[in-house]
Structure 1
Amino acid sequence: MNEFLQTMLSFPTLVWSVIFAFCIVYWLLAVTGLVHHDHAHIEAGSGHVDGHFHADGHAHHDHAESAGLLARLRLDGVPIMVVVTLLSFWAWVVTYFVQLLVLSRLPSGISAGLGVLTLLGALIPALPMTMLLVQPARALFAKLNPPETRPALGSVGTVTTPSVDELSGMASFADGGAGLLLQVRAQPSNRFKRGQRVVLLEYNAANNTYFVVAEDEFNA
């Protein structure tokens, strides 16, 4: 028991111990109702963020970047805190055993340097393990959330990612409520930049994306 505590409270394991402990406390408080459990999540495949957009443009941009990153990593479709909890748990497991079996047996100077590498490197195996567990959890959270109301074709939105082309891109659209953040695509010959206004022209059910054109072109 002493060895367990010593390893858990030693660098670099301590960092992930604190993060994972915070996640546990969060979920305990959420269960007891002492904190509001926000079910905000990134909609699988669509980049739709449940929750209100802030009036601050920087906050809106952060939502877009976070949605795009989680979608690319296939960590969308579940509450963000689920992703953080799983990621911190697996990173903690990796750092714990590296500290126990390797770093604790090395001179302090060497172990400190390798500890920094271990702290960050733990994310490499933790990420695929988290992705593996998120996949089956998507179905559960899909049942807990109402079906998405799709925006009408012809809706006008604003590009939120650095660019939109035939392979990637996201744009925000008003829906009379919280707003939608959708995966959009353009023709190979077109490339839209952040802030440009685009119009939904066609929905691709195969990959849950929307084909868009420039608002000026649509109105021409």
Structure 2
Amino acid sequence: MDPFYQNIASFPTLFFTLLLALTAVYWLVAVLGVIDLDVLDVDMPEGDADGGVHQLAGLLLKLGLNGVPLTIVISLLALFGWFICYFAVYLIFPYIPDGFLEYIVGLPILVGSLYGAVLITAQIIKPLKPLFANMNKNTVKNVLGQTAIVRSLRLDSGFGEVLLADGGAGLIFKARTMNNETFKKGDRVVLLQYLKDQHAYRVISEAEFLQ
């Protein structure tokens, strides 16, 4: 087998190869509107949030991985972890005998690669945090009452995204309907209310809004 393919398909690089493949599939299906773009996002919890959410949010904050969508964080971790792990394996494994010893050496390489990826990702997203915070504050004021197009395969009270024309590539928002209504891709809806706890907009049909 080619050394490149052997390295990316064996431990420990395989861990990051699979993670990188999963993130690629995620972005593909998200762009197609099958799932929400920020389906994995974790907010800093308040009040009686689930303990697991508290722990995960606290860990992200401690590592400096908060303030941007979690999907971006995971994608960057996968990418940088893959590069670090691949080159570590490429440089070290030729001197390691085949067999169980590769797993013993591979484990610290895996941990070290993940740690290095966390450090790099934290530095890269640091200047992006204010951009995401300001973008959300300014956007809410400007889009309420505007008409958007459903971009996901469906839009209901628990799932869906809309595309709002802004003169450029367009803005994509999570959206939720009222009274268990359901819309399909291409329907026109109006953004009525921002749901802070869900980071989504409550919408109604354009026809109902104009009545």
Instruction: Structure 2 unaligned segments of length 5 or more: list them.
Output: 141-194, 199-211
State the 1:39 CA deviation.
Answer: 6.2
Structure 2 counterpart of 1:133, one-letter code: I
- Partner Cα distance (2:125, 2:197) in 1: 25
- Partner Cα distance (2:103, 2:83) in 1: 18
CA separation of 1:135 and 1:60: change in aligned 2, threshold 3 A:
same
Which deviations, in whole Å up to 9, do the C-alpha atoms of 1:160-208 show, x marking residues without a partner? xxxxxxxxxxxxxxxx9639xxxxxxxxxxxxxxxxxxxxxxxxxxxxx
Which deviations, in whole Å up to 9, do the C-alpha atoms of 1:55-78 show, x marking residues without a partner? xx7x71222222222112221111
User: 1:36 maps to what in 2?
Assistant: 36
Equivalent residues of 2:13, 2:82 under 8 A apart: yes
- 1:87 counterpart (77, 82, 87): 77
- Partner Cα distance (1:143, 1:40) in 2: 21
Alignment of 1:1-220 (within 5 A): 2-38=2-38, 41=41, 47=44, 60-108=50-98, 109-146=100-137, 178=197
- Partner Cα distance (1:145, 1:116) in 2: 40
- Partner Cα distance (2:133, 2:197) in 1: 18
Structure 1 counterpart of 2:58, one-letter code: G
- Partner Cα distance (2:40, 2:90) in 1: 37
Task: Tell me how many residue pairs correspond in the alignment.
Answer: 144
TM-score by length of 2: 0.58
- Partner Cα distance (2:45, 2:124) in 1: 21
Equivalent residues of 1:48, 1:67 under 8 A apart: yes
RMSD across aligned positions (CA): 3.2
Instruction: Structure 1 unaligned segments of length 5 or more: list them.
Output: 150-175, 180-220
Q: Which runs of 4+ in 1 moved over 6 A?
A: none
Higher relative contact order (CA 8 A, sep 6+): 1
User: 1:218 maps to what in 2?
Assistant: none
Q: Which structure has more helix as a fraction of its residues?
A: 2
State the 1:30 CA deviation.
Answer: 1.0
TM-score by length of 1: 0.56
